[in-house]
């Protein structure tokens, strides 16, 4: 799944209306604001809080993992290698978990 698809599914899970893509800079919302939790810490944190996503870090293994509870029948665990950037890995793990919730909402 590419970044645009991840963002669109995450936006669905978050419950926001999207006008369309903004190049490689994320999505444009109906409010005219740019939204990109893959690159914006604030957008990623709001997404994690709204969707009740648990975040944990394993410094020894160099991994960040998230658990998204979603519906009682849907749980998702996403693990990202930090690749020298804890922040980027955390944002990506949050967005991937939110995209899984958004994908489950499509069905």
Residue 35's pLDDT is what?
A: 86
Q: Look at 16-20, 81-85, 87-91, 96-100 and tell me which has the smallest mean pLDDT.
A: 16-20
| Residue ranges per structural domain of the chain | 3-106
The rounded distance, in Å, linking the Cα atoms of 7 and 9 is 6
- Rounded Cα distance between 25 and 2, Å, is 13
b/e for 22-36, b at 16 or more Cβ within 10 A?
beeebbbbeeeeebb
Q: What are the DSSP calls for 42-66, one per residue?
A: HHHHHHHHHTT-EEEEETTTTEEEE
How confident is the model at residue 30, as a pLDDT? 64
pTM of the entire structure? 0.86
Packing angle of the helix pair 41-50, 3-14 (nearest 10 deg): 50
């Amino acid at each position: 799944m590419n970044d645009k698809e991840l963002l669109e599914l995450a936006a669905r899970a978050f419950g926001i209306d999207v006008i369309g893509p903004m190049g490689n800079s994320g999505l444009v919302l109906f409010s005219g604001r740019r939204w990109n939790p893959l690159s914006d810490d604030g957008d990623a944190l709001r997404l994690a809080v709204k969707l009740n996503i648990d975040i944990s870090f394993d410094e020894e293994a160099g991994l960040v993992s998230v658990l998204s509870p979603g519906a009682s029948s849907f749980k998702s665990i996403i693990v990202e290698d930090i690749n020298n950037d804890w922040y980027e890995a955390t944002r990506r793990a949050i967005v991937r978990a939110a995209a899984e919730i958004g994908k489950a909402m499509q069905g």
